[in-house]
Amino acid sequence: MVSPLSAIVVMGVSGCGKSSVGAEIAKVSGGHLIEGDSFHPAANIEKMSAGHPLDDTDRAGWLTKLGEELARCVKAGDRPILTCSALKKSYRKTLREAVPNLGFVFLELTRTDAAYRVSHRPGHFMPASLIDSQFATLESPTGEPLTLTVDASVPIPEIAVQVDHWIDDLGAPTLTRTA
């Protein structure tokens, strides 16, 4: 039997719905929502806002901070739900090294749908022009341990129920505390 999840990362390209899905998972299954974007240093946000994709060097410190925050929450007795693109296997490895039994919910979305969503969300620093770079960087996690791949085009409440069933199937407790 697989060990219960200690934490969850809701991942995928920009526009897949990480924040909305993460909040709904916290509501349905319990847990502490952590918005990964809020941990980006100003230089990363400026770079993306200017239409330039982040590289591995830009993401390294950010991923380390996210891993530290996940570990802090787990140590405090919470089950964190982190929203983070986690596009490359090496990025997911960094997060897995910080927290044992880390689960990933991969919100799979087409390039067309992602571009539409990003171009229609006001006030976000990530421009639609960077969608192609997101897909070029993406290394699908499908088949990796403790990973659930879901269709990000289905309604958010349905995704949260899928995740809740997956959590139950893994033997992890449903929490009553929400974000």
Residue labelled with tokens 């919910």: 105
Which of 117, 116, 73 lies closest to 98 in space, CA to CA?
73
pLDDT, tens digit (0-9, with 9 covering 90-100), for 106-153: 999 998 888 888 776 665 555 556 788 889 999 999 999 999 999 999
Q: Does any domain span residue 82?
A: yes
CATH code of residue 81: 3.40.50.300
DSSP 30: -
Contact between 165 and 29 under an 8 Å Cβ cutoff? The reply is: no
Q: Which residues of 123-141 are buried (b: 16+ CB within 10 A; e: fewer)?
A: eeebebebbebbbebbeeb
pLDDT at 30: 87
Contact between 136 and 130 under an 8 Å Cβ cutoff? The reply is: no
What range does the domain containing 71 cover? 7-169
Q: Whole-model pTM?
A: 0.87
Q: Does any domain span residue 176?
A: no
**How crowded is the C-beta side of 125, counted as CA atoms within 13 Å?**
16
User: Total domain count for the chain?
Assistant: 1
